[in-house]
Structures are given as C-alpha cells and as structure tokens.
Amino acid sequence: MSACDMESVLAQITSSSTHPAITNIIRKAADADILPVLKFDRWVGLSPQDFLRILPALRLASQIMRSPRGLQFFYARARGNTEVTFDDRDINQLRFYRDDRTPNAHLPPDHAAIAHTYLNDLVMAVTLAFEPRPDETEGDCEPLPHDRIHWSQPGIRSKVVMNEKNLHRLDLMQTLGPAVLKQWVIMATTLCHELSHAFNMAFEGQEDHEMFFEDDTFCELGHAFEKFVIGGQVLVERGPAGEAMLVMREWSSSHMSKVYAAGGTYVPTVSRASEPDPLDMTVVQDSWTERLFNDERFWDETLVRDGGQSLQIPVAAFARRERVDYSTKLVSEWVRATGWIRG
C-alpha cells in the first residue's frame, strides 16, 4: 500500500473522535516489516480498511514471533534436541528442547537466520481469514490435509481463521485508546498461538501430532509458545468498574485436558502428584501493553540485551491468594456471559 493509499484508507477508518495515539500507531505499523504470512495478500476476503485497522496487531505478532525467545522456540521445534521421556504412569512423551536453556540465551547468528527463514517460509503454508465462529473461540488453525508442502520433510498447509467478532470489537473501541491496544494484543497473541500450530503442521506433516516443549505438562504448542515467550494466555476482561483490562491466565494440565476433551479433542498431559491451582490469573498492567506499541527501544535494545525476558508479563499484580479469589469470581462471570475458549 502506497503512502497516498494508506492516508486515504486511514481517513476512511478514523474520525475526529479517534484517539490520536491510535492513528499514530497505525501509521507506524504501515511502515513496519511484518511477517510475509501476515501481509494483505494472505488474507481471504479482507478489505484494505480492515487490514489497516488490524495492522498494529499484525506488526505486534511479527515482533513477538521474531523476538529472541520466539526465535528460540521455533528453532527448537525445527532443529532442536528431541527425546522420549516417561511420566509417573510410564506413558512416553516426545519432547523438544532448546540447545541453550539459560534465561537470557540468544541463538547463534546462523541458527537465528535459519529460524527467520522458517518464519518467512510460512507464507507458503498458511492462508488467513476472518469468519463467523460457531462458538466463542478467538481463532483456530484448520489443517488442509490434502494440500502438501515440503520443508525438511513433507508437511501440510493450513488455514488460520480469526473470529470476525475481533473486527466488530475494534468498531466499538476506536475512540478508546487503551481499549484498542488491548484488543490488538489479543489478536496478536491469538495469531502467534495459531501460527505455532500452523508451523508444526507444515514441518511435521500431521495435523494431530505435537510434541511437548521442554518441561511442559500439557502438550499444546500454541499454549507452549505463549507461556514461554510472554508468560501465559492473555484475554480482555472487565474490571470492577466495568473498564476493559488485560489478564494473563494459566491453567493446570489436568484442567486443560478436560476442556479439550469436552470439545472432542484429545491432548496428552503429564500426570503429576501435585499441580498448580486450576486457575492462576494476574492483571496485565497498562504499562506493559503501552510499551509494546510506543517504545521502539524496547524491541531494538531491551529485548536484545536480556534475551527476550522483558516480554514476559509481570505476575506480581496480586498476592497469590487474592489472585485466585478474584479471578475465580471473574472467570465465573466471564464464562457465564461468553462461554469463551480459544482454539
């Protein structure tokens, strides 16, 4: 999209009531280098206006996947060490590991280049679309088992489907700067989640075969990516005064297994004598969200310096007991109102 076209479309999707910071963030995203798989020609039936409205989320998803820990994750899946382990029921799991598991580790330059190549090549394996969803899932990755691709071995292509409600939410939020940022974060992390599945299908060649990542007790690569890179799954909720807020959620492996089983999907888990509470939720501070969109040095310098650790969401918003008490009430209301679950 040329600069002239971008300004024309931007004028169509904004108004005098649009928060000025939102317009500036969209302009910056239009000049950014996003992953090829997320560019306009990969989206089926998406208008230029809607593409521009979601562009900050596409830029953020690209930055997260290309972050130091994002590159480590995808390189480990493609080229990392693998081994078979046994849990306390003597059930085996196939696991993959990073070569260097120190907290602030960086991939060697040649390994990082390979990871970048794999991410760029996802453009050959994935199409994307916004479609109505029969449930409240934010997104899903649909395998196309008869559409083959060949990376290091034969794989399959896939289609990432985003819930079209994401676009409707942006309609309602465009005058509210912080609310739009939160919705972009949800869209970006959902794309990262689903593209992790797409990456695995393109590399593995099987729609129903995923490996455990390192010490995870739940075998689901979308969740594994989110947990490793940003700390957990994020979603938008309503605070005590009705304000939109981001929360990060972690479920125990046993609970997630039940959730997927209820939807007709089997996902392997590891039996443990003791597990975390079924629900652990923490409020994501606005400062973390705003930094993602407004602090270029965070991406160019801070993450490079600390190996991506600063992208992890701080979890000290509540004491643990207060977090659990508050989030139990929050989630019961949220489930009753929406029935939400991510694919």
What pLDDT score was predicted for residue 280? 63
Alpha carbon of 210 to those of 79, 96, 196: distances in Å?
15, 10, 10
The DSSP H or E segment spanning 145 is: strand 139-150
What pLDDT score was predicted for residue 92? 63
The one-digit pLDDT tens for each residue of the chain (343 residues) are: 666 666 777 777 766 667 778 888 998 998 899 999 999 999 999 999 899 999 999 999 999 999 999 999 999 998 888 887 666 555 567 888 888 887 778 899 999 999 999 999 999 999 999 998 877 788 989 988 777 777 666 788 999 999 998 888 887 555 567 788 989 999 999 999 999 999 988 887 776 677 878 777 777 888 889 999 998 888 877 777 777 678 887 665 656 656 555 555 555 555 543 444 445 677 888 889 999 999 999 999 999 999 999 999 887 544 343 444 444 444 444 334 333 344 4
Number of helices (H) and strands (E) in the chain: give both, helices first: 13, 10
Q: Are 65 and 74 in contact (CB under 8 A)?
A: yes
Q: If we measure between CA atoms, which residue out of 40, 44, 34, 60 comes closest to residue 184?
A: 60
What pLDDT score was predicted for residue 332? 43
Q: Which strands make up the sheet holding 92-97, listed edge to edge?
A: 81-86, 92-97, 212-213
d(CA 280, CA 210): 25
d(CA 262, CA 283): 27
Q: Are 116 and 320 in contact (CB under 8 A)?
A: no
For the stretch 181-220, what's the b/e string if a residue is b when 16 or more beta carbons lie within 10 angstroms of its beta carbon?
bbbbbbbbbbbbbbbbbbbbbbbbbebeebbbbeebbbbb
Q: Hey, which residues does 128 pair with through a beta bridge?
A: 43, 160
Alpha helices in 174-298 (DSSP H): 177-204, 221-229, 253-262, 286-294, 296-297
d(CA 142, CA 16): 40
What pLDDT score was predicted for residue 3? 60
SS3 163: strand
